[in-house]
């Protein structure tokens, strides 16, 4: 039987740039092949799949519904469609080596149970002279922030406390499964490579520095803002994915896309809100540092910026309005009212804007803008604007403009609008 001299299995870990690695390996598959490295793409129903997690889960999982492959690939009605397609394609890839090295990238392998990962390992060893398993490890605190965002976008409403030790557990599963072939990499050091993590990975698998420097890389999985996370979390608590029979709202895997793009402050795990969670993450980090032999960066203590600033406010109405269904939009609108109450004492001006946006969304189609404004009170916007004019003229201009929509003939309001417009260079 023809064998690959080398098979590389890039096994994550999760939230260590795996999507960027996969997309760029597929993008530069031709160049990789020139260097003897085969990076295959799978396909299902005319869709190209560059992340090998679902194909390998389809081939090696002993339970068709395990690991989320069925849901992600949209084959809930008949999982055998995906399983058969992935098995046929995987068999062909192993049967006819197209290069010296086969490169597979599947972070989901770190979640495989012992039987499934054992079956995968056995098959790969049968097809190669040398199996090399690569995994990047990221600090638990940094990983958890990213995992929470990913789960929120997928429609899950879980507790952060339920995700402690997830990095440790995945690391231990890989170490048990591949004791002699596992090569661990420090994610935090890798991202400092002049070309970033993808460049680090490509050099690690054998490409020269000069070859890597000639490539341009795309980046995937932008982070969710703290403001977007609050809205998505509220929606998921009311209408979690997988519970449509109970709440009656159909959820889709990527139905939070419009909120994902909402600008705002960086999402962080707030130590002041959950000191027990932070302590658990510290214990997990200490255990991993001993096992790995390298330290993680200290958890960030930098205070986040103030939420619900002007760039976020300007995009809010459109982002919520693009949600797929009325129940999701109503839930997000209610969440704006909750956020307005939370910031009322510290930032009454922005709280008023949140209420105004919520009112417009709530009454969209059956209430003129002026009436929605009137319910909040023009004076509220006017006096809020005056509080902001020294420290945040853009916010002051926005607030006073809202007051002007309600009282277009008010001399003082119009004078301040002109003043702010001139100060900001607006026409």
Please say whether the beta carbons of 13 and 170 come within 8 A. Answer: yes
Residue matched to tokens 């004078």? 415
Positions in the chain whose pLDDT score sits under 70: 1, 220-222, 253, 271-272, 301-304, 364-376, 426-427
Q: What are phi and psi of 353, to 5 degrees?
A: -65, -40
Query: What integer pLDDT is reported at residue 202 of this predicted model?
Result: 98
Q: Are 334 and 235 in contact (CB under 8 A)?
A: no
Contact 226, 189 (CB under 8 A): no
- The structural domains of the chain, ordered by start, are 6-138+152-213 (3.40.50)
Q: What angle do CA 53, 54, 56 make, to 5 degrees?
A: 70
Here the tokens at position 128 are 């190669």
Q: Tokens in use for 349? A: 């001006």
Give ∠ CA 7-8-13 in degrees, rounded to 5. 150
Task: Provide the pLDDT for residue 206.
Answer: 97
Is the Cα dihedral 65, 68, 72, 73 positive or negative? negative
Predicted pLDDT at 271: 63
- Residue recorded with tokens 């001299």: 5
Q: How far apart are CA 15 and CA 167, in angstroms?
A: 10
pLDDT of amino acid 374: 55
**Confidence (pLDDT) at 365:** 42
Instruction: Determine the pLDDT at residue 303.
Output: 63
pTM of the model: 0.76
Please give the pLDDT value at position 373. 52
How would you class 349 by CB atoms within 10 Å of its CB: exposed for 0-12, middle for 13-18, buried for 19 or more? buried
What does the CA dihedral 107, 108, 112, 117 come to, rounded to 10 degrees?
Answer: -50
């Amino acid at each position: 039987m023809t064998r690959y001299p080398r098979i590389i299995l890039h096994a994550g870990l999760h939230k260590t740039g795996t999507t960027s690695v996969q997309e760029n390996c597929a993008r530069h598959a031709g160049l990789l092949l020139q260097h003897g490295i085969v990076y295959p793409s799978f396909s299902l129903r005319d869709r190209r799949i560059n992340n090998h997690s679902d194909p390998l889960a389809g081939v090696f999982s002993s339970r068709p519904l395990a690991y989320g492959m069925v849901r992600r690939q949209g084959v809930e009605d008949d999982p055998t469609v995906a399983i058969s397609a992935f098995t046929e394609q995987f068999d062909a890839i192993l049967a006819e080596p197209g290069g010296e090295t086969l490169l597979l990238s599947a972070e989901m392998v770190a979640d495989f149970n012992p039987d499934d990962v054992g079956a995968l390992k056995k098959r790969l060893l049968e097809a190669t002279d040398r199996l090399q398993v690569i995994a990047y490890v990221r600090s638990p605190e940094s990983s958890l922030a990213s995992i929470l965002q990913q789960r929120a976008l997928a429609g899950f409403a879980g507790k952060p406390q339920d995700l402690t030790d997830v990095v440790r557990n995945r690391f231990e599963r890989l170490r048990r499964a591949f004791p002699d072939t596992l090569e661990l990499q420090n994610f935090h050091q890798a991202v400092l490579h002049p070309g970033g993590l993808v460049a680090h990975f490509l050099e690690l698998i054998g490409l020269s520095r000069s070859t890597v420097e000639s490539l341009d890389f795309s980046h995937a999985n932008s982070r969710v803002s703290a403001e977007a996370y609050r809205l998505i979390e509220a929606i998921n608590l009311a209408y979690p994915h997988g519970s449509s029979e109970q709440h009656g709202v159909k959820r889709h895997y990527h139905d939070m896309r419009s909120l994902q793009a909402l600008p705002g402050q960086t999402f962080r795990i707030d130590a002041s809100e959950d000191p027990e969670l932070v302590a658990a993450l510290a214990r997990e980090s200490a255990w991993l540092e001993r096992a790995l032999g390298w330290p993680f960066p200290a958890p960030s203590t930098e205070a986040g910026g103030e939420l619900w600033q002007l760039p976020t406010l300007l995009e809010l109405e459109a982002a919520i309005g693009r949600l797929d269904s009325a129940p999701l939009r109503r839930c997000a609108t209610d969440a704006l009212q909750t956020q307005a109450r939370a910031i009322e004492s510290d930032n009454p001006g922005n709280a008023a804007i949140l209420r105004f946006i919520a009112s417009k969304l709530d009454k969209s189609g059956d209430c003129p803008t002026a009436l929605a404004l009137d319910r909040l009170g023009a004076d509220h916007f006017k006096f809020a604007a005056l509080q902001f004019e020294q420290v945040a003229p853009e916010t002051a201009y926005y607030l006073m403009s809202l007051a002007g929509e309600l009282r277009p003939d008010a001399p003082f309001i119009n004078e301040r609008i002109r003043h702010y417009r001139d100060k900001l260079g607006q026409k």
